[in-house]
Amino acid sequence: MSESENKKQNKPTENVLDNNDLSHEVYTDANGKRYLKIGILGGIINFSQFKSSDNDDLLIGGYVAPSGIFDINRALTWAAKNIQPKSVGSCAKYVRMMMEAGGLNTDGRPVSAYQYVNFLPQKGFKHIASLNTKQEQTSWSSSSAKPGDIAVMSHGKHGHICMWSGKKWLSDFAQNNMWPYSGEGKVNIFRFNG
């Protein structure tokens, strides 16, 4: 329907989106509520059909503009739709799939999560912090973490890896803390640098 046809029928054009491309954007309605347009749907979509990007169900702390080849918002949107209610022991697989959903090629990826310490710099991530205690990790998460940051830890046989959504650390499930184990341990933080 064209804009002029919408006006004739008193339908506000700002509430209708043509979603035939593979892009995504954030829109704000007249009440200030933010909505996420994800271009994998196709067709004409009303705002009422979108989940708000502020919705806790999405686990995403707001829109993040694409940075080079890595679209963090797409990575986190994929995670919100695909992570499990509890751990299934596949953190590296899920974080890798988040990275791929965001547009990164993960050829040559390691099997074990702890090995991502050496792999992430090859894909444009920069090591930005090492945190040794749960207190440091909690403080850093609330003050310095940015959506798309990846935490890698050596623990057990394969280690652990997770990505910050802006609200929670996500691996194969939404974690309550960066370090999902009892006790303390070192975490290396990486941020995409392009």
162-181 mean pLDDT: 93
Report the percent of the chain where pLDDT is more than 90. 57
From-to residues of CATH 3.90.1720.10 in the chain: 72-192
In this prediction, residue 56 carries a pLDDT of: 44
| CATH superfamily placement of domain 72-192 | endopeptidase domain like (from Nostoc punctiforme) (3.90.1720.10)
In this prediction, residue 3 carries a pLDDT of: 46
153 - beta bridge partners?
160, 187
10-33 mean pLDDT: 43
Question: 189 pLDDT exceeds 50?
Answer: yes
Question: 98 pLDDT exceeds 80?
Answer: yes
106-132 mean pLDDT: 95
In this prediction, residue 181 carries a pLDDT of: 85
The C-alpha atoms of residue 48 and residue 36 are separated, in whole angstroms, by 11
